[in-house]
Amino acid sequence: MKIPELFEHKKPVFSFEIFPPKRQSGLDKIYDTIEKLSVCQPDFISVTYGAGGNMADNSTCEIASNIKKRFGIEPLAHLTCVNSSMEDVTEMIGRFAKADIENVLALRGDIVPGEAIKKDFSHANELAIEVQRNSGLQILGACYPEGHYESKNLREDIQNLKYKIGAGVKVLITQLFFDNQLFYEFLVQVRNAGIHVPVSAGIMPIVNKKQIEKTVALSGASLPHEFTKMIGLYENDPEELYNHGIQYAVDQIRDLLEHGVEGIHLYTMNNPDVSLAIYQKIKDLL
């Protein structure tokens, strides 16, 4: 199934993101997670690339293939390039083809301190060009409602998005955000810039203190008053933070769906229980 075509025929498109385990021994656990998530009948599940883009220990292709073969769900395999050579990318494209994977999310990837950066690709649009040139894969890309942290401003970042679209990207998935108004404003600017591909909203529920300290800080996302109030009230009460974190994500998603968003992409953090709890409270709008 070609994911861009799915957006032409269904609204909203509902999807999840999972990440491979750090050790091969963790594969059974990730398949248990996928089995639980399958109850929600997602339109696709994306699988992130190995940490640091390490091909030697990368189970992305294997997991994506099994999502399709074992669970009958369309996979979206991430592919990063900051730590990949041209030969690495060619090899991964070949792996995807053999595994009957039809869709990839083309990303630059995070720069890991202490790891050498390869020089064949500098940006995601360059990777997308290479994927389009050497395969029939459908290409999705990332976007940032508040602008990528390396861009001078949002206007420059939206110009970079146009390069991605020109390189063959047919669907965009946003970085996580907590302020829907910023997403709506971003979408207006994107459309005014002549970008008309579907945009799926990336949502990450914050349900524990560790996520506050790591994920929220690293994302650079703006924190609206309602969110900071929730954190202030419950950061030292794990049970209440868990429940209110789920509800915050539910309220955010319901508002997005009521405003006609084209897709919801839920960052699961490999926690099926949180995703299932959210699904139960939004499924009437899907």
Among residues 17, 74, 130, 146, the one annotated as catalytic is 17
12 prior amide bond cis, ω within 30: yes
Q: Which two tokens stand for residue 73?
A: 């769900």
Q: How far apart are CA 43 and CA 7, in angstroms?
A: 10
For this structure, is 102 an active site residue?
Answer: no
**Three-class secondary structure assignment of 183-224:** HHHHHHHHHHCCCCCCEEEEECCCCCHHHHHHHHHHHCCCCC
Selection from 250, 247, 275, 262 nearest residue 45 by Cα: 275
Q: How far apart are CA 41 and CA 60, in angstroms?
A: 21
Q: How far apart are CA 123 and CA 106, in angstroms?
A: 10
Q: Which residues are catalytic, by number?
A: 17
